[in-house]
Structure 1
């Protein structure tokens, strides 16, 4: 093997590492949303609906940015845009650590969301142009599981020791790491001679919508897992242990399993079964009064989303080799996630948390229908 070949392989590995690190930073809401919303309620004194609104502003910013830049994926310098986006997000979160008012935090959440949505579109679009998008996305899922273990274990302790500002210090640090990784290791995908500009097919649109609706369910329930646990009278340490277990499960189970089963399970079937399992777990999480029943369901809740979305990502990458569809991953995920916290907060505040489980069943039916339509399109 020539020195040039070895160097190219090392460079490719470094590029993949940068994508995985950047994915973990950009998808921080996937693992940190409960402690994020919980800290806004407990440490900053916001009502659940206000805390949900701040998270929603962050996610809406990501949706808007991704919607704008994803179609332009192959016309941009992906490395430069990703590096700048994560750098801006780091600055926004650092400034957020100095604020306590709703208006200032709202503006900074929006700026952070816009920045991360821009950067993450470059990351996911480049993943979609890789040799095996399903496997690379699964590896990123394993890494974000490990990130969840660290963050869900460390952030509550840092909040106790240093107050609410610690939340945003951690987020700023994570974004700074992603900035450095992208600046040093990110590899732009090969230029396309002619970018395919054909409109997305019906199957692609139905799949995108199905993922968005499933993610809405995820965010609506998961944002309030910590709050629900404490409202049920469970000990704070016990709820924290469940969140740590959730992170460990996310690290060890869904993404490795998705990589192992890539060629053994049809993606079209996985994306239909996933929302049904998610709805069943949502009913348990929102209605169970016994910790022995509630804890296992809460601990595996996110794993269903991670496993299902890995198959959906690979499916979309096959449907659109230009990478534009998967570049819109932040938009398709976060449009659902953006609405989830604020609607979950509204339902929980006015109708009780049991209403979240009932709503989750109805939303799951919509998601399943969309995936069925995608298969038959």
Structure 2
């Protein structure tokens, strides 16, 4: 268990979560800026975002198994600091090759910090509630980011976006250095050995989260471009993003409120179905009201579902190692999403994304249906 009872420690986790999950909020602006300001095609733009996510995945896969043997404060502060440096360098570049390298380095650094952040949340007294808190913080961050950054980029150019990314990472690095929670008791090699390898239920939950992240990234990476290509003004698209940001304030506290009232197993099997329906609405219905309705709640579905999935995985794996791999879960899917979505758009148009989301959603439901806590585990958790 970790020292998350005091608010300064919780704030540190909230800031770290917002910085590490910046892709979840920024993808439409990120990809859209690479297309409009840097003149990369959709496949290249999606590829650059994918490189950041690939770096984060690789880093998470390395650090997650070692989570209980790490100096978490050091990893978090150094990771965010190095990511800030990489984004700062990115803001000075215009060539695809150098920008690609910087995206990979930024992802590697941020992924290490986010991995220990999520593992620490997983070892808190109530992982579901703590993850809901950081999810609310991410929602507030999204309102500010999506309301301000598109206008800043329009006024000052694409480099401003990467400078903002760097600034966010600097804040997270300093906060982590000063306030990041530490374990209340030793949790080293012996702690990991005392617990068995991940069960099939854990792996099923991990894959299910990854598939939902894939669907989210496929649609949301091109949400801004879908609107622009349909002739919507920058103001109209920005309005949807602002509404989306405010809507995202709701699912995390709602998930915390309903923790004891809803079955986590039922929530995680319903989430992908709702996600697929919204994707079809966004990609196949050309009317602006449909674009607004689908886009405004699209991320909220993922936040709500993932909060229950996070709590479910914390019960399936008490070591925190599976939850330390949360960046890998989310970003494996998210890494494939932008480039897969860009490829589908390039050759078949936006409706192809909607069809792909439906197929992936079916696979996610199958996986989540296997991620169930056994009766014995429920008894132990209650005790």
Taking structure 1 as the reference length, the TM-score comes to: 0.96
1:141 is matched with 135
Aligned equivalents of 2:157, 2:121: Cα separation in 1: 37
Q: Distance in 2 between matches of 1:14 and 1:294?
A: 39
- Show CA shifts across 1:20-62 (max 9, x none): 1100000001111000000000001000000000000000000
What's the counterpart of residue 228 of structure 1? 226
Aligned length: 369
Cα drift, residue 312 of structure 1: 0.5
Is the partner of 1:374 in helix, strand or coil? Answer: coil
**Paired position in structure 1 for 2:215:** 217
Aligned residue runs from structure 1 range 182-331, under 5 A: 182-190=176-184, 191-192=186-187, 194-197=190-193, 198-251=196-249, 253-331=250-328
Gaps of 5+ in 2: 375-383
Tell me how far 1:166 sits from its aligned partner. Answer: 0.3
Tell me the CA shift for residue 319 of structure 1: 1.4
1:56 corresponds in structure 2 to: 50
> Is the contact between residue 58 and residue 113 of structure 1 (CA under 8 Å) also seen in structure 2?
yes
CA distance in structure 2 between the aligned counterparts of 1:339 and 1:12, rounded to whole angstroms: 38
Q: Residue 69 of structure 1 is aligned with which of 63, 72, 86? A: 63
Aligned partners of 1:286 and 1:356 also within 8 Å:
yes
Corresponding position: 1:356 with 2:383: no
Q: Structure 2 CA distance, aligned partners of 1:145 and 1:350?
A: 34
Which of 19, 29, 35 is the matching residue for 2:23?
A: 29
Cα deviations across residues 313-369 of structure 1 (Å, max 9, x unaligned)?
111111112111100000011000000000000001110101100111011000001
- The answer to whether 1:179 aligns with 2:177 is no
CA RMSD of the aligned region, Å?
Answer: 1.4
Maintained 8 Å contact 1:21/1:178: yes
- Where does 1:155-174 land on structure 2 (aligned, <5 Å)? 155-174=149-168
Contact 2:49 2:103 in 1 (8 A): yes
1:348–1:356 Cα contact (<8 Å) kept:
yes
3-state secondary structure, aligned to 2:49: helix
Measure, in 1, the Cα distance between the counterparts of 2:93 and 2:331: 25
Match in the other structure for 2:379: none
Cα offset, 1:9, TM superposition: 8.5
Give the counterpart of 2:74 among 76, 80, 85: 80
Residue 191 of structure 2 aligns to a residue whose secondary structure is coil
**Residue matched to 1:20:** 14
- How far off is 1:195 after superposition? 1.7
Contact 1:12 1:187 in 2 (8 A): no
After TM superposition, the score normalised by the length of structure 2 is 0.94
- Determine the C-alpha separation between the residues in 1 that align with 2:64 and 2:41: 34
Aligned twin of 2:378: none
- 1:274 to partner: Cα distance: 0.1
C-alpha deviation, 1:192, in angstroms: 2.0
Moved over 4 A (4+): 8-11
- Aligned to 1:187, the other structure's residue is in SS state coil
| Distance of 1:195 and 1:333 partners within structure 2 | 26
Distance of 2:299 and 2:240 partners within structure 1: 12
Closer/same/farther in 2, CA of residues 9 and 88 from structure 1, 3 Å limit: closer
User: In 2 relative to 1, CA 9–113 (structure 1 residues): closer, same or farther, beyond 3 Å?
Assistant: closer
What's the CA shift string for 1:48-85, capped at 9, x where partnerless? 00000000000000000000100100111000010000
SS of alignment partner, residue 264 of structure 1: coil
> Structure 1: where are the runs of 5+ without partners?
1-7
User: Do the aligned partners of 1:133 and 1:314 also contact (CA within 8 Å) in 2?
Assistant: yes
Cα distance per residue 1:250-272 (max 9 Å; x no partner) = 02x11011011011001010000
Residues 1:336 and 2:333 aligned together:
yes
